[in-house]
C-alpha cells in the first residue's frame, strides 16, 4: 500500500514539475519587470557597487554553467535524437563559447572594458538569445541521422562564434567604449549609449522574450521539466536585458542589477541541469531493475514454466479421472502464475495500463477461443505494486470466466470515475456469490478481494447461475 502511494506520488511530482515551472515563468518576468521599474522610477533607489572579483566570479560561473549545460544536452540529444534538443545544445554551446572567449578570459586578463570584450560580449549574447529563441520554436521532430545533424550544427555554431570574434577584433579600433552614465547614478534611467549598441540590446531582449514564451508553451505541452527551467531562464534573461537597456553602463569592475539577474539566468539553467541529472540517475536505476527482471523472466520461462507444462500434459494420462482433474487444475494454475510472473517481469516500465490490461486478457481468451471486447481509457494510469495487483485481479477474473465458467465472450471496461474502475464481465455459467466455496476458483475470489483491499479499494462480484459474472474493481 505504501509503495503504491509512493509510486503515484512520484508520477504526480514528475508530471507537475514542468507544470509548476511554466506557471512560474510569467510570474518571474512580472516580478523582474516590476523591480526594474522601481529602480527606474523611484528616486534614490539604485544598486551598483565596485567589485572586480565579483564581476570575474559572475563571468566564470556563467561560463561553467554553460559548459555543464552543453555537456548534459549532448547526452540528452544522443538519447532522444530530437531537433528541439539539438537546438538547445546549439544555444548552450554558443553561450558557453561566448562566455569563455568574450567575457571570462578578458575579465581574468584584466581587460573587461576593451572594445573587443564589450562588443563581442554584446554580439555573443545576441547570438545566444537567437539560438534559444530558435530552440524554443523548432518542431519536436525525431532526426533520422542525428550524428550528421549534430556535427553540422556544432560546426555552424563554432563558425558563428568565430565570425563574432573576428568582427569584434577587426573593428575594435573603430568601436566606441567607455560610454554610458556613471554606475553610481544607476538610480535613474539614462540611455546615453550608441544607437547600434542599444539596437542590439533591444533585439536581444526581444529574442529572450520569444524564447521564454516558446519554452513556456512547450513545457505546458510536453511536461518536460528541463524545458520549463529554460523558460524561467529566458524570462530572467529578458529582465536582465531590460535593465541593461535602461542603464547601458560599460564600466570595468562594477556589478549592477542586470549582472545579478543575468547570474540568476544561469542559476536557473544550473537548476534544470541538476534536476535532469537526477532524473537520469533514477532512469538508470530503473533500467538496472528491468534488466534483472528480464533475466528472471528468462529463467522462469526456461525452467519452471517448461516443467509445469510437462506436468500438465502428463496429468492427462492418469487413469483416475478425479485425480487427473485435480492434478491438471493445480498444474494449470501454477502455469498461469508462472506466465503472469514472466509477463510482469518482461513488461516495459512505461507501458500504458490499457495496453497491459489488453495483453493479459487477450492471452487468456485466446487459449479458449472466447471473444474479447475492450473499452479502455488510455489516459488512465497506475504504477508500481498497484498496477501488478490490478493486472492479477484482471487475470483471475478473466481466467475464472473462460476456464471455469465456460464463457464465450468477455468484456473489459477501464475508466476513471470517482476512482479507477475496471469492470470484467462474461457470459459464462455464473454462480451464487454468497456460496463460492463449492467452486474450484473460490481461492481466486478471496485473493482478488485481498489484493483490492491492500490497495485501499474494493471489489464487487455480481453473478447468477447461467447468467454470467461481472467483477468490478474500484481503486482510490
Confidence of residue 188 (pLDDT cuts 50, 70, 90): low
Whether the full predicted model's pTM is greater than 0.75, yes or no, is no
- pLDDT of 400 reads 85
Q: What is the mean pLDDT of the chain?
A: 79
- pLDDT of 95 reads 92
**Is the pLDDT assigned to residue 191 strictly greater than 70?**
no
- pLDDT of 38 reads 65
Backbone angles phi, psi at 81, to 5 degrees: 55, 40
**Is the pLDDT assigned to residue 29 strictly greater than 80?**
no
CATH of domain 351-476: 3.30.565.10
Task: Return the bridge partners of 412, or none.
Answer: 374, 424
137 versus 16: the higher-pLDDT residue is 137
**Is the pLDDT assigned to residue 32 strictly greater than 60?**
yes
248 versus 242: the higher-pLDDT residue is 242
Confidence of residue 12 (pLDDT cuts 50, 70, 90): very low
Per-residue model confidence as pLDDT tens digits over 367-385 = 888 999 999 998 888 877 7
343 versus 96: the higher-pLDDT residue is 96
Name, of 148-157, 238-247, 446-455, the range with top average pLDDT: 148-157
420 versus 26: the higher-pLDDT residue is 420
- pLDDT of 10 reads 44
Confidence of residue 157 (pLDDT cuts 50, 70, 90): very high
Per-residue model confidence as pLDDT tens digits over 56-93 = 888 888 889 989 999 889 888 888 888 999 999 999 99
Amino acid at each position: 500500500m505504501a509503495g503504491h502511494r509512493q509510486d503515484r506520488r512520484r508520477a504526480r511530482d514528475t508530471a507537475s514539475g514542468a507544470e509548476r515551472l511554466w506557471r512560474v515563468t510569467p510570474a518571474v518576468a512580472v516580478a523582474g519587470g516590476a523591480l526594474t521599474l522601481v529602480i527606474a522610477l523611484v528616486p534614490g533607489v539604485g544598486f551598483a557597487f565596485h567589485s572586480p572579483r565579483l564581476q570575474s566570479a559572475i563571468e566564470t560561473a556563467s561560463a561553467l554553467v554553460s559548459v555543464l549545460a552543453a555537456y548534459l544536452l549532448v547526452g540528452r540529444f544522443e538519447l532522444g535524437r530530437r531537433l528541439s534538443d539539438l537546438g538547445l545544445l546549439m544555444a548552450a554551446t554558443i553561450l558557453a563559447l561566448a562566455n569563455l572567449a568574450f567575457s571570462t578570459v578578458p575579465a581574468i586578463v584584466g581587460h573587461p572594458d576593451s572594445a573587443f570584450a564589450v562588443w563581442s560580449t554584446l554580439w555573443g549574447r545576441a547570438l545566444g538569445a537567437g539560438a534559444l529563441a530558435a530552440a524554443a520554436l523548432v518542431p519536436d521532430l525525431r532526426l533520422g541521422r542525428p550524428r550528421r545533424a549534430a556535427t553540422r550544427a556544432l560546426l555552424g555554431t563554432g563558425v558563428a562564434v568565430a565570425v563574432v570574434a573576428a568582427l569584434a577584433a577587426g573593428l575594435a579600433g573603430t568601436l566606441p567604449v567607455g560610454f554610458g552614465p556613471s554606475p553610481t547614478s544607476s538610480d535613474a534611467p539614462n540611455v546615453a549609449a550608441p544607437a547600434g549598441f542599444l539596437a542590439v540590446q533591444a533585439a536581444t531582449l526581444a529574442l529572450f522574450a520569444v524564447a521564454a514564451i516558446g519554452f513556456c508553451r512547450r513545457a505546458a505541452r510536453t511536461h518536460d521539466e528541463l524545458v520549463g527551467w529554460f523558460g524561467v531562464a529566458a524570462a530572467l534573461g529578458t529582465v536582465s536585458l531590460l535593465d541593461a537597456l535602461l542603464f547601458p553602463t560599460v564600466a570595468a569592475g562594477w556589478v549592477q542589477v542586470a549582472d545579478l539577474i543575468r547570474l540568476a539566468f544561469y542559476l536557473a539553467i544550473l537548476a534544470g541541469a541538476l534536476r535532469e541529472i537526477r532524473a537520469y540517475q533514477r532512469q538508470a536505476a530503473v533500467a538496472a531493475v528491468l534488466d534483472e527482471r528480464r533475466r528472471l523472466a528468462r529463467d522462469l520461462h526456461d525452467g519452471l514454466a517448461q516443467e509445469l507444462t510437462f506436468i500438465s500434459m502428463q496429468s492427462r494420462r492418469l487413469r483416475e479421472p478425479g485425480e487427473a482433474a485435480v492434478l491438471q487444475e493445480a498444474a494449470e494454475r501454477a502455469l498461469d502464475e508462472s506466465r503472469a510472473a514472466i509477463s510482469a517481469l518482461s513488461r516495459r516500465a512505461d507501458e500504458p495500463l490499457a495496453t497491459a490490461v489488453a495483453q493479459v486478457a487477450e492471452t487468456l481468451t485466446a487459449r479458449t477461443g472466447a471473444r474479447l471486447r475492450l473499452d479502455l481509457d488510455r489516459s488512465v494510469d497506475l504504477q508500481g505494486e498497484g498496477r501488478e495487483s490490478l493486472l492479477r485481479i484482471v487475470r483471475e477474473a478473466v481466467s475464472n470466466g473462460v476456464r471455469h465458467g465456460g464463457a464465450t465472450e468477455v468484456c473489459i471496461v477501464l475508466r476513471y470515475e470517482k476512482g479507477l474502475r475496471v469492470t470484467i464481465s462474461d457470459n459464462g455459467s455464473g454462480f451464487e456469490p454468497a456460496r463460492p466455496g463449492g467452486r474450484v476458483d473460490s481461492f481466486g475470489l478471496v485473493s482478488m478481494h485481498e489484493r483490492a483491499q491492500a490497495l485501499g479499494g474494493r471489489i464487487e462480484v455480481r453473478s447468477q447461475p447461467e447468467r454470467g459474472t461481472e467483477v468490478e474493481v474500484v481503486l482510490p
